Structure 1
Amino acid sequence: MTWNGRCWLLRASISLSLGGLGGALVAGGCGSAEPPCGEPWNPCLITNEDGTSNGVCGGKCVIQPMDSFHKPMLLWIGDADDPEPACEDLTGFDLQSHDTEQIAPRTSFRFRTLLPGDEPCPTCKCSVPYCRMPGIVAAHSDASCENTPAETLRPFNPPWNWQGECTSPGTVPAEEFSAIWIAPVPDGSCTPSAEGEPSPPKSPAKIAVACSGVVWSNSCPEIGDVCMVNQQETNVPPGWRYCMIAQYEGPHECYPPAGPGERPRFSDKLTFYDRDLTRGCAPCVCVPSRTPRECVARVSAYSDRACSEGALLGTTTVTEGRADRCLLPEEEGAALGSIRAEWDVNELGLCEPAGGEPYPTTVCCLPEPEG
């Protein structure tokens, strides 16, 4: 931006702070051929060539973007084989300095679309769900299974991948324990994974470039509008649109369409992807289906090492995803010699893979002029 352009921005910002004094404080250069750049007070309105005025906005007044979006930008959309414009080449006539200015010189985004069949990310898979028996059991010296420095735990773990058959990890004398602590059923739900190599995407159906310039608040007649300085339609070449771009990747909602007689809103929703697809892929997840999943194991403890019915100390149930259990022996003075388990409920449920797609960026644009 030239010195004259910066001078106008300074004058405009100061004049806005004057509020209602704008009509009373008229700089000596108002309406003169020589811009009053030596005078800091210049609340003069900017008048377009057709006699209309956007207040002190020498540019395009648009509705304020929503909180989760960047300031409005100019967006060019073209075919993949079209010559891509450069943001610094966007120039236009400055209404205050009467000079040619760069209107949106900064390249903020370079986008592409994806064609049907493009799979630039690995394929998401889900493991088969299953119910797992408790893997951690201990003889506890406290009858409530409370862990304190004075209490002791003696491991009585079943073998790895225990299926519930009778097992005897050893013998714990009666005087060395008061209860049997059983951990919850381990999680055996679907586990997501990414498989396969992504296929190189085909040529994009469309490419896009977003260019940003100066955007000012509180300089348009409508409260809530912002001024895209020097970016009025007469300065913007064909093929460019006024758009706001989401700050965070993923789906976002745009403004609803404007009603009859209302000023246009950023209501045209477009979806793009990073030009080089370098921002990675969404993580793979497993989404449970409508079939409920539940794993409830009934665990029994015995005083002998053979799980004999006459040596039963007690039985309790443990459920996946819930708290551990504390089993009190029904027979005092008996040792702990073995455990066995069976499923009360073994509902595996179902799940479907999700995720794994490239991160999309939501772009909301003003409607294109009819005709």
Structure 2
Amino acid sequence: MSSKGLKINFGMLAFIIIASSIYFIINYYIGKRTIQRINHVFNINTTIFWIVFWIIALSYVAAKILDPYMPSRITNAFNIIGVYYMAVIFYLLIFFSLLDLVKLFNKRIHFIPNIIMNYSNLSVVISLVTAVIMVLLISLGSFNAKNSYVKNYNINVNKNAGGLSSLNIVMVSDIHLGDLIENKRLKKMVSEINELNPDVVIIAGDIVDSSIKPFLDKYMAKEFKNIYSKYGVYAALGNHDLMMGKGDEITQALEEEGNVQVLRDKALLVNESFYIVGRDDISINRVKGTRKPLEEIIKDTDYSLPFIVIDHTPKDIEEANNIQADLMLCGHTHRGQMIPNNLITSKIYEIDYGYLKKKDLNIVVSSGYGTWGPPIRIGSRSEIVNIKLNFKLPN
């Protein structure tokens, strides 16, 4: 084995050890604080608690490891427990950390009134409030994730599109089809799209989640064939579609079974009226691939017609502006999916959700239809985007 190979393996091993250590430390902290809260209300056997706790904490990892060897109903159960636990641990970590900080500061500056601190059942109240908050968060988050709404935009474009005065665009992104979001939810999405009577349907990446297996085994691509659209259904691939190295297989399934045109660094003239430009997500640069510059993709097009660019990650806005694109459709951010993650995405991207206009370029970023990890949305909603795009009429 080469020294380079040894370095790569050592680096990966170091990363796994560090990440695992952090995960175990966080979980031990959560477990310790949780059993303390429970014991304020009623006594629980410590040994039984820790056995159950670590089974739950490691269930997601167990699902991935056991998947090739165990029946799917067992690994799916572990997977569901694991992804919901991700949301629980996320908010418990925030809550317990804040509680410990309040206690620490109160010891120093005594800002909490003594009548509260001396209340005999204070710990019981805090424990019950914690439990109620967690139940409400998970319940609300599950509702927000599973029940979509329509986000409407009315956008004017200062270009002539042949004889078209307007275009009814329906866009979805981040469906994340897989073990959690399956055919039933996909059928519902297709029905919701059709209710909007679209002229064109655009899928802005992350069609598949972390594994292509359920997508292929359950023939999910076929359901896209039931979308009714005047000018067709067009898609670009997102980071999840590409980083698993299955972009070609996803493309083939969608095109052959779902009648979806997947545009991989390609511009397509639709109805002799407007262009749809689909780009492979920028993450392809990390999986032994490169994506073409927009200028190269559109070099043989008619610049006088409107351009609609599908780019999963809302990153290369200036590049779209430089080619005088009219509409850029993105996803990827999930609007943080669970607050306060939206504070992070809003700092990373110039626009992480909603609408932005820069010069003549209109950018729309969707929070997405599906979810990644926990099937929970707090501070965001599952959405379908409906855009009425109005064109300049000929003189």
Higher relative contact order (CA 8 A, sep 6+): 1
Instruction: Report the TM-score range of the alignment, normalised by the length of the smaller protein.
Output: under 0.3
- Bigger Rg, which one: 1
| Structure with the bigger percentage of strand | 1
After TM superposition, the score normalised by the length of structure 2 is 0.17
After TM superposition, the score normalised by the length of structure 1 is 0.18
